[in-house]
Chains A and B, each alone.
Chain A
């Protein structure tokens, strides 16, 4: 193999910094003439092509071009990709994600490696400076959720979980819609698996139903059943192993259970999804042998609830 050639990356020329006072009318077009493409820098690793960069100018927002560009970009991502979390569309919480490729929250149902050209998509599906546009975009992607809540981006706005959970569980009394708003922000519950060395957290609001939740959990915990989650960080996941976990979950070895607001452990799946997200406090992937006698009580309990 040939020795990789090092390139001088410091070919980025500096332009004199304009004084800040005369900033009016600085549009995208007059932006610094510096285009990295022009300097023809490449990574230079043997056997790899450096990613072609999309012309970024399209994506730097000027209001005029913004709306149509954004809509196109977002729905392209939708059409191109696999199934999306909000395909289930059960109202409220399932707006789905802003960052279409990956939200860092385990919606691995869609494998994007095919469409992934190594770019961060310049897709900028929002900054709705004008309010109506928001519902347009929302409608444009087939989302049935009401436009009263912005689509969720993981970790944005940057508010700690403690604050989110505190405000969500006891919304301000004067604000009638608060429960709907803050409450639908996110709902992180802990997920433990018998035998796994650590817990995970999932946001129940991003799943449309049981199927999506189950498949996300399968992906998240598949490494544990394969026994590769040691301290050396080598995971030999492959298709075979994932389907093995699926069999495990759907078969007899593990069941998915949850602790409800009363502290009782129930089997997941017996009650309507909305009811489940309202009363689920935490999840546990339990060995079936330990889960005897859980199922029958679920429906009864919920019937007794007002």
Chain B
């Protein structure tokens, strides 16, 4: 018999091999091969990713991966971005910092998304990790500039401080001065979220001047345009830059100063900021446009003609964020100038108006889909759509990985045929076989969910609002979408049946959010009983769910798999459904 010899390499060799494997998924697969691989892998995993901070406890993570240097944690559900998750729900990072402070003193990187970060947490980070290098806080809240001052003062090896989309209590602009004069290691600084209180400009200039490796600098709105020149001149090596307010008096000396400083930055690839744009200042950036790959004009309230002129200078653009002032005509221009475009996001300038204020329709999207063969990721707000347009877009762009369409008025039908948009979205999932993320809108029946369940086999995240007719819709998604990890639903007539019929599916997903749907309290309890490794959280500000009949719908429901059991930091309006002794299951 021919036996295959099992070679056992020394651990060091395997470790070396594993060091080339960076992705979490692959690392997880490696750890499943055999016990010894599990052991070796866990000792050499340097980056840990926890998609839901309540799915596991900090102690468990530290126990399994004693030597990690980088951790990424996510807290609140995505719908928290739109104020659907009441404040105080949770997502506190402090307990994690406390555990890591003791057990992982060589921690270098912390990346947090949608978590509550207090000044106390920041101070503890500053104190505990001597080699701390990277702090990325995305959509976080709970801290003030005092916490930032602690980081600035103590983290001698800090390379990155990125506060994208955070809510910071702006107590003083002087936190920047807490970076010691000897500190020179900054590579990336993103303070674009800071409020209208001024950041100390002189401290900023000095900081930028001595940090010669600075590659990314995103300023906040309070930094005036005429001061930007001084900053840019000190950092000609910048690759990514975000302006402050883009308005200044129309004076030739100010303009030429600014334009001159800009043109000395030969490495710029990404621009953002552009609040309060004065169009006459736009030509100042033309010299750098030919190298730009990313442009965020989503706060720039400039009209289509200026936008067209701007994008026509950017043939290498891969990523564009813009307001709907660009209009269909601007998107057509984009389609003909920017053949490398991969990602497009069009935001509404007037989301609450009833009448359209700009001429941006489905035509713009069709034009871009037709002209930009590499288009992969779309976020598009508009006021009308047709199945025909969606089918065209789907056929033009089979490589879509992310497609998020928001038709501003809920339940808007196909404007040409007055039918639901089921077929259009059906085409998207049918043609775009690699679609990972999808957001639906418009008038949709259960049929669209049938299509999604049938075709969207790689779909990982689905967002649904004001759609569907019955539990069948939800059933199609839960039973058909094999790769589904995150499902978020609001204002849909989905209730108990589909949820209970697909209870086991929920353990294969990270989380499910349902708000303003028709899931009863009784079903929540039953689900929690059937699935002990799920946390079934009922969020209801009307008061305890058991003060109402069991058949009453819960307001909001958040279900996630966890190996850490129920959490203990819930506010009074959140209840975890636990085993209810009164049901006495044998």
Contact = CB atoms under 8 A, between A and B. Distances in A.
A3 B423 contact: no
Contact of B470 (A56, A105, A152, A175): A56
Interface string B121-133: 0000000000000
A28 B526 CA distance: 33
B574 interface: yes
Contact of B583 (A1, A152, A175): A1
A293 interface: no
A149 interface: yes
A102 to B, nearest CB: 6
A304 interface: no
B551 A51 contact: yes
A126 B469 contact: no
A119 interface: yes
A148 B354 contact: yes
Contacts of A4: 526, 583, 585
Interface in B407-434: 408-413, 415, 417-420, 422-423, 426-427, 430
Interface in A3-54: 3-4, 9-10, 12, 17, 20, 23-24, 26, 28, 31-32, 34-36, 41, 43, 45-51, 53
Nearest to B522: A45
Interface in B493-530: 493, 495-498, 500-501, 515-518, 520, 522-523, 525-526
Given A155-B83, A156-B82, A159-B348, A50 B551 contact: yes
Contacts of A167: 299, 349
A296 interface: no
A161 to B, nearest CB: 7
B505 to A, nearest CB: 12
Interface residues of B, number: 112
B50 to A, nearest CB: 21
Nearest to B349: A172
A198 B352 contact: no
Contacts of A99: 491, 516
Interface stretch (B29-37, B62-70, B248-256, B440-448): B440-448
B10 interface: no
Nearest to A235: B572
A228 B572 contact: yes
Given A104-B541, A198-B88, A43 B523 contact: yes
A154 interface: yes
B556 A36 contact: no
A166 B196 CA distance: 10
A127 B518 contact: no
B86 A155 contact: no
A200 interface: yes
Interface of A is mostly: loop
Interface stretch (B52-60, B359-367, B370-378, B542-550): B542-550
Contact of A158 (B355, B406, B526, B550): B406
Most chain B CB inside 10 Å of its own CB: which residue of A20, A32, A99, A134:
A20
Given A12-B475, A36-B470, A157 B574 contact: no
A144 interface: no
Interface stretch (A179-187, A207-215, A249-257): A179-187
A48 B406 contact: no
A174 interface: yes
Nearest to A48: B550
A153 interface: yes
Contacts of B574: 233
B357 A175 contact: yes
A159 B347 contact: yes
A1 B423 contact: no
Interface size range on A against B? 35 or more
B165 interface: yes
Interface in A180-219: 181-182, 184-185, 188, 197-201, 203, 219
Contacts, number: 282
B353 interface: yes
A197 B88 CA distance: 8
Contacts of A299: none
Contact of B87 (A9, A201, A234): A201
A23 B417 CA distance: 11
Given A51-B551, A127-B412, A223-B572, A178 B406 contact: no
Given A50-B496, A119-B553, A233-B574, A156 B410 contact: yes
Interface stretch (B208-216, B236-244, B330-338, B563-571): B563-571
Interface string B336-352: 00000000000111111
A129 B522 contact: no
Contacts of A116: 548, 552-553
B88 A118 contact: no
A120 B347 contact: no
A223 B490 CA distance: 27
A122 B470 CA distance: 11
B31 to A, nearest CB: 33
Contacts of B348: 157, 159
Contact of B471 (A36, A46, A131, A200): A36
Contact of B490 (A23, A57, A155): A155
Contacts of B222: none
A301 interface: no
A161 B415 CA distance: 30
Contacts of A161: 81, 83, 167
Nearest to B584: A1
B103 interface: no
A182 B353 CA distance: 8
B98 interface: no
A147 interface: yes
A49 B522 CA distance: 10
B514 to A, nearest CB: 10
Nearest to B350: A181
A35 B471 CA distance: 10
A181 to B, nearest CB: 5
B340 to A, nearest CB: 26
B350 A178 contact: yes
B500 A9 contact: yes
B586 interface: yes
30 contacts: A1-B584, A9-B497, A12-B471, A12-B472, A17-B454, A28-B445, A32-B447, A36-B470, A43-B500, A47-B550, A53-B495, A59-B469, A63-B413, A113-B547, A118-B549, A120-B495, A126-B409, A126-B410, A126-B411, A129-B413, A134-B354, A148-B355, A150-B353, A154-B83, A155-B82, A156-B465, A166-B299, A174-B301, A198-B116, A231-B569
- What 3 A-B pairs have minimum CB-CB distances, sorted nearest first? A155-B82, A9-B501, A127-B411
